[in-house]
Amino acid sequence: MRLSKPTQCDRVLKYMNDFGSISSFEAFSELGVAHLPRRILDLKERGHTIKDEWDKSKNRYGESVSFKRYSLVEVQSE
């Protein structure tokens, strides 16, 4: 029996669980996921609660850049 390889959604979900959040740059460079917003939408459609927020950093030229960072929201049970 052959095991199936993880999907891009599986990889993104595991990355967020392991590291707390993910950006498009991390998704591309670490996971090979070229369009993170689509994978986030897929995960939301599967019932995951994911928040996004704007983050800032400097690029290689020292210029300020803004980008979205996505993280899982833990659902609290009552």
Nearest-angstrom CA–CA distance, 11 and 8: 5
Q: Is the pLDDT of residue 11 over 80?
A: yes
Q: What tens digit of pLDDT does each residue of 26-48 get?
A: 999 999 999 999 999 999 999 99
Check residue 4 and give its pLDDT. Answer: 85
**Which single residue is written with the structure tokens 């095991």?**
3
Give the chain's mean pLDDT.
92
Beta bridge partners, 67, equal 55
Amino acid at 59: N
Cα distances (Å, whole numbers) of residue 77 to 10, 21, 74: 24, 22, 9
- pLDDT tier for residue 72 given thresholds of 50, 70 and 90: very high
Q: With contact defined as beta carbons under 8 Å apart, do 75 and 59 qualify?
A: no
